[in-house]
Structure 1
Amino acid sequence: MHMKSAPHLLTEDRSEYERLLDDALRNAHERPELAGIGQRLNAEQLRTMALNATAIITAAAATEYDHFVQVREESRTPSRLSAIDSVLSASDDGTATGPGAGLGVVVTVLAPVLAGTAAVIFLLVGYLLKVLDPAPSFADPLLAAGWFFAAVTALGILVAAIGLLITALRNSSTQVSADEPGGELPDEIARAREAWRHALLERGIMPFLRDALADPSADPASGAPPRPVGRMPKVGYSGPDFSSPSEGGAAARPTFTSPDFTSPDFGGPGHQPD
């Protein structure tokens, strides 16, 4: 069974690994150790072998990758907290925060829904009563109330849209871009990511491709990685050794002998066995 993904490589980073592998194969002409591409193995065969050996290749840069993941996770925690704070805070000056801001959000969302429902009910009942002959006297007040709630619904939708627009503009103006000089944490993430990419390329991908080209026993159809040499990590298990009977000289073959069975001596009725 082929190993398609490394146990420690997250799904969101697998595309980065494949992109780095494709760049290495695309720029193989710039590296003398990869000059043999196309003679016995082409770029597509090498790519398939490298994808099947993702666990072995990425293990060479496990330390840098763990640091990169840790820094990235630490940077995501303040982002989540700021998103929650923006929902709980109605304004930057602190005039409406906490439960009051939550109540305002609930009223802003529910007011158009409730007003719209009331408008539909009053207008439907009012126009049904207007069909009757003679029409009841309270049909006109119902219609008036229905149109009032319809106006409230339209106003509530307008207020909610304006509030969402203001919130979006406020958050976008206070957001720190990753390219800005003051963003120390994004810079740290970029440095950790670049360190992982460099280690993965120099200690994982390039040695694997070099060994695959140098190993004549590498079979691209099977997807098995080449024999690890040099700095390449070794797999923690190996297959048993099988040899044919003709190898290693003649071995002692076990001998089997059948047990000796003797029939009992039968005689006449008066004969007793010895």
Structure 2
Amino acid sequence: MPCPDRLLREDGADFERLVHQALNCAEIRQALRRTRGVVNAEQLRTLAMRASAEIAASATAEYAAYLRRRMAAAAAQPWPPGSTPAGRGRAQLAAILAALVPPLAGVAAAVFLLLGYGLELTTGQLELARSLVIAGWTSALVSAVVALGGAIALVAAAARTPSGPGAPPLADPAVAHARAVWQATLWERGLLPFLRRQLAAPCGPTPVTVPPGRPERLTVADASAHPRRDGG
């Protein structure tokens, strides 16, 4: 698998959490106090998020290894119920029926009831009127049952739908280990050195520029909740 040059979408929030933890560790808090207000934590947070490419590049190899483990573990997992092609086809058919049957049955119920009660009040055809009324209430019952069944099916499908394709199956020990290695590398080689450089700059933090025409996006490295260091 080629090494990615951008974070996967589901890893962006984890990078931000790691930045938050670094800004709250004892070393960075003490360094911020020594600046006597020249630099604050929010400025450092903004700089770190804008410099995510530089920070994440320190753990490129570890991130690629983590992604390989994660993808292999996800591929090895069995298909959940309803997620196979046949299961998805049945789910789609059920969704179509749940969308079409209730309104059609409701319209039929209204027509039958209107005709039935109308005949009962205006003519002597009681037998036909009662048949139409029975058909109307039956259609109304069918509409309600199908609507309820469709709602239950949707809730059940949502409950068993797995998380996104890139979501890490962390129950796998190999995936958890690869993630921990990658996080530690990102923390030690990327994030803390970057914050130290910004705090040591004699004129304050160095502005981070983003190339024109490119959005400010996180790049290469999922940084999920790293254990805090130095009491952070």
Q: TM-score range by the shorter chain?
A: 0.5 to 0.7
Is 1:148 the counterpart of 2:146 in the alignment?
Answer: no
**Local SS of the residue matching 2:132:** helix
Higher RCO structure (Cα 8 Å, ≥6 apart): 2
**Which of the two has greater helix per residue?**
2
Measure the CA separation in 1 of the matches of 2:21 and 2:194.
15
Please, which of 200, 204, 221 is the counterpart of residue 190 of structure 2?
204
State the match for 2:230 in structure 1.
Answer: none
Would you say the 8 A contact 2:50–2:208 is kept in 1? yes
Please, which of 15, 18, 24 is the counterpart of residue 17 of structure 1?
15
> Identity of aligned pairs, percent?
34
State the match for 1:55 in structure 2.
Answer: 53
Would you say the 8 A contact 2:70–2:175 is kept in 1? yes
**Local SS of the residue matching 1:9:** coil
Is 1:134 the counterpart of 2:123 in the alignment?
Answer: yes
Would you say the 8 A contact 2:82–2:157 is kept in 1? no
**Local SS of the residue matching 1:16:** helix
Measure the CA separation in 2 of the matches of 1:103 and 1:7.
37
Change (3 A) 1:154 1:82: same
Q: Which of structures 1 and 2 has the bigger CA Rg?
A: 1
Using the TM superposition, give the Cα deviation of residue 149 of structure 1 relative to its aligned residue in structure 2, in angstroms.
Answer: 2.6
State the match for 2:31 in structure 1.
Answer: 36
Change (3 A) 1:80 1:121: farther
Would you say the 8 A contact 1:115–1:150 is kept in 2? yes
- Please say which of residues 74-83 and 158-167 is displaced more in the overlay: 158-167
Unaligned ranges ≥5, structure 1: 1-5, 90-97, 176-182, 226-274
Please, which of 112, 121, 125 is the counterpart of residue 122 of structure 1?
112
Using the TM superposition, give the Cα deviation of residue 203 of structure 1 relative to its aligned residue in structure 2, in angstroms.
Answer: 0.6
Change (3 A) 1:18 1:168: closer
Using the TM superposition, give the Cα deviation of residue 202 of structure 1 relative to its aligned residue in structure 2, in angstroms.
Answer: 0.3
Using the TM superposition, give the Cα deviation of residue 66 of structure 1 relative to its aligned residue in structure 2, in angstroms.
Answer: 1.8
Using the TM superposition, give the Cα deviation of residue 200 of structure 1 relative to its aligned residue in structure 2, in angstroms.
Answer: 0.7
Mapping for residues 30-179 of structure 1, pairs under 5 Å: 35-40=30-35, 41-77=39-75, 81-85=79-83, 88=86, 105=94, 109=98, 114-131=104-121, 133-134=122-123, 136=125, 138-156=128-146
Would you say the 8 A contact 1:218–1:224 is kept in 2? no
Measure the CA separation in 1 of the matches of 2:156 and 2:191.
49
Q: Between Structure 1 and Structure 2, how many residues are aligned? A: 196
Using the TM superposition, give the Cα deviation of residue 18 of structure 1 relative to its aligned residue in structure 2, in angstroms.
Answer: 1.5
Change (3 A) 1:85 1:209: closer
TM-score of the two chains, using structure 2 as the length reference: 0.62
Would you say the 8 A contact 1:122–1:145 is kept in 2? yes
Letter in 1 for 2:69: V
Measure the CA separation in 2 of the matches of 1:166 and 1:151.
23
Change (3 A) 1:152 1:82: same
Using the TM superposition, give the Cα deviation of residue 113 of structure 1 relative to its aligned residue in structure 2, in angstroms.
Answer: 5.4
Q: RMSD in angstroms over aligned alpha carbons?
A: 4.2
Would you say the 8 A contact 1:75–1:185 is kept in 2? no
Using the TM superposition, give the Cα deviation of residue 27 of structure 1 relative to its aligned residue in structure 2, in angstroms.
Answer: 1.0
Measure the CA separation in 1 of the matches of 2:120 and 2:144.
25
